[in-house]
């Protein structure tokens, strides 16, 4: 039976998602040798940090890339991928703020754009064959560039250790500063950093200090609480501490605050899409503050039925985004539903940061359905306590009829 395997001879130019790390540094020469093709490096700046970007173009060229494109996706990522997801309230398996998941579709989309520009006939990523990211990249590629071939070296080559990768580069005289051992596997962008591996591989081990890359240990955080105010419009953060900031700038500002106070750490065992479980420590300092802010404004604005639907949408969205289904009609539909619910989610909150916690202490909204007047005792103009009798009677009518039936039958 014929395989859909790539005819290697047909591949002339490949765009590879290049990080400057060991894996993707190996991928460039490997592609050239194995596919006899030109390799274009594509670097997505999603806020992973300056140190990873310094000199990256030179590094790519030194590894054998013919060109290197760098795209600054930071604002777009926060505005068009993170904010819409935040509105849904998505927390994967109740905890994970989807930091890695949300970055993948925008990187894939920008990579496809470079491929179109340079006339490439294949796309390549450096994700392993056991993880979610391969699905997220290739799911995006299938939706955006079904005509381009996809090369996933980790599912193809025989290299299985850092040592082999380093040897591979050394044999080819490609300079590489990567260390022989690397205990933890990390992924960072403006929103979060994840840490896997090492001591975390045994779930009975508590994370140690090395498992946390950004945030201060809550026990070492300031003994004084600090307060930040966040302004929300249509479900999006538009100002922080009185300053109107862009989505990315808001995130940077809140990251700084969160990091200082040890906010946004989680330690989770999660179900990967590919059927196995993994354990990771994730830090999302600013994102955790944003999430608290949005949910607090929602408390004021959404009615009961809308709130329940938003919760359901959040559960669904968490799986969709985690599973790499961003560029699907289902995801668009779900985001349209959430966007509609967010129309009235305007307001302002004050959040207390203290020893690892972000707690909303004050909140208000022009669209608040909370009314001091309605909720408290005494007469008012919209609620008459006598109404409750009728409400309850009808609300429980089916129970009553059922119980009366039972009583009649047991006679």
Active-site annotation, residues: 23, 104, 133, 185
Q: Does 130 bind a copy of itself (CB under 8 A)?
A: yes
For residue 393, give Cα distances in angstroms to 169, 377, 388.
77, 22, 8
Could you say which residues in the range 50-89 bind a copy of itself, by CB under 8 A?
89
Please tell me whether residue 97 adopts helix, strand or coil conformation. Answer: coil
Q: Does 226 bind a copy of itself (CB under 8 A)?
A: no
Could you say which residues in the range 133-152 bind a copy of itself, by CB under 8 A?
134-135, 138-139, 142-147, 152
Please tell me whether residue 239 adopts helix, strand or coil conformation. Answer: strand
Q: Does 111 bind a copy of itself (CB under 8 A)?
A: no
Q: Does 14 bind a copy of itself (CB under 8 A)?
A: no
State the Cα–Cα distance between residues 326 and 332, nearest whole angstrom.
8
Contact 325, 260 (CB under 8 A): no
Q: What sign does the dihedral 43-46-48-50 (CA atoms) show? A: positive
CB of 176 to a copy of itself, least distance (A): 19
CB of 327 to a copy of itself, least distance (A): 7
Residue count at the site for a copy of itself (CB under 8 A)?
A: 136
Q: Which stretch binds a copy of itself (CB under 8 A): 24-32, 45-53, 59-67, 367-375?
A: 367-375
How many angstroms from the chain centroid is the CA of residue 321? 8
How many angstroms from the chain centroid is the CA of residue 89? 12
Q: What sign does the dihedral 17-21-26-28 (CA atoms) show? A: positive
Q: Does 267 bind a copy of itself (CB under 8 A)?
A: yes
Q: Does 154 bind a copy of itself (CB under 8 A)?
A: yes
CB of 371 to a copy of itself, least distance (A): 7
Q: Does 234 bind a copy of itself (CB under 8 A)?
A: no
Q: Does 300 bind a copy of itself (CB under 8 A)?
A: yes
State the Cα–Cα distance between residues 304 and 89, nearest whole angstrom.
16
Q: Does 216 bind a copy of itself (CB under 8 A)?
A: no
> Exposed (0-12), middle (13-18) or buried (19+): which is 200, by Cβ within 10 Å?
buried
Q: Which stretch binds a copy of itself (CB under 8 A): 11-19, 103-111, 167-175, 375-383?
A: 375-383
Please tell me whether residue 135 adopts helix, strand or coil conformation. Answer: helix
State the Cα–Cα distance between residues 367 and 346, nearest whole angstrom.
7
Q: Which stretch binds a copy of itself (CB under 8 A): 64-72, 76-84, 118-126, 298-306?
A: 298-306
Please report, in range form, the residues annotated as the binding site for L-aspartate.
Answer: 128, 132-133
Q: Structure tokens of 64?
A: 């054998």
Q: Structure tokens of 58?
A: 């030179």
Could you say which residues in the range 333-362 bind a copy of itself, by CB under 8 A?
333-334, 336-341, 343-344, 350, 352, 354-357, 359-362
State the Cα–Cα distance between residues 370 and 101, nearest whole angstrom.
35
Q: Does 409 bind a copy of itself (CB under 8 A)?
A: yes
CB of 325 to a copy of itself, least distance (A): 7
Q: Does 410 bind a copy of itself (CB under 8 A)?
A: no
Query: Which of 51, 146 has the CB closer to a copy of itself?
Result: 146
Please report, in range form, the residues annotated as the binding site for L-citrulline.
Answer: 96, 101, 132, 136, 185, 194, 270, 282
Residues 6+ apart with CB under 8 A from 260: 216, 221, 222, 226, 353
Angle at 148 between CA 142 and CA 152, to 5 degrees: 75
Could you say which residues in the range 307-326 bind a copy of itself, by CB under 8 A?
307-309, 311-312, 315-316, 319, 325
């Amino acid at each position: 039976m014929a395989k859909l395997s790539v005819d290697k001879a047909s591949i002339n130019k490949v765009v590879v998602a290049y990080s400057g790390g060991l894996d993707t540094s190996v991928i460039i020469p490997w592609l050239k040798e194995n596919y006899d093709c030109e390799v274009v490096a594509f670097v997505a700046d999603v806020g992973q940090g300056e140190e990873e970007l310094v000199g990256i173009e030179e590094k790519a060229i030194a590894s054998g890339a013919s060109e290197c494109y760098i795209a600054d996706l930071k604002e777009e990522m926060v505005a068009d991928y993170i904010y819409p997801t935040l509105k849904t309230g998505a927390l994967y398996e109740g905890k994970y703020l989807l930091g890695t998941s949300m970055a993948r579709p925008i990187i894939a989309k920008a990579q496809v754009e470079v491929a179109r520009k340079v006339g490439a006939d294949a796309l390549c990523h450096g994700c392993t064959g056991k993880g979610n990211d391969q699905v997220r990249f290739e799911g995006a590629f299938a939706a955006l560039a079904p005509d381009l071939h996809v090369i996933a070296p980790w599912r193809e080559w025989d290299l299985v250790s850092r040592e082999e990768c380093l040897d591979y580069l050394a044999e080819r005289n490609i300079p590489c500063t990567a260390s022989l051992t690397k205990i933890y596997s990390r992924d960072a962008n403006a929103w979060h950093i994840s840490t896997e591996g090492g001591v975390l591989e045994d779930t009975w081990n508590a994370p140690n200090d090395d498992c946390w890359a950004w945030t201060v240990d809550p026990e070492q955080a300031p003994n004084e609480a600090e307060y930040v105010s966040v302004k929300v419009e249509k479900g999006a953060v538009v100002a922080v501490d009185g300053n109107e900031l862009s989505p990315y700038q808001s995130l940077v500002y809140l990251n700084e605050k969160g990091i200082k106070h040890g906010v946004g750490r989680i330690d989770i065992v999660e179900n990967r899409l590919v059927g196995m479980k993994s354990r990771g420590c994730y830090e999302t300092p600013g994102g955790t503050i944003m999430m608290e802010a949005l949910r607090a404004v929602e408390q004021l604005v959404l009615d009961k039925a809308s709130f329940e639907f938003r919760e359901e949408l959040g559960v669904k969205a968490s799986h969709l985004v985690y599973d790499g289904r961003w560029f699907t009609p289902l995801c668009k539909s779900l985001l349209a539903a959430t966007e509609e619910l967010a129309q009235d989610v305007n307001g302002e909150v004050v959040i207390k940061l203290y020893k690892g916690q972000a707690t909303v202490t004050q909140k208000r909204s022009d669209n608040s359905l909370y009314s001091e007047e309605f909720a408290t005792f005494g007469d008012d103009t919209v609620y008459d306590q006598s109404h409750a009798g009728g409400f309850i009677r009808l609300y429980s009518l089916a129970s009553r009829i059922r119980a009366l039936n039972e009583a009649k039958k047991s006679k």
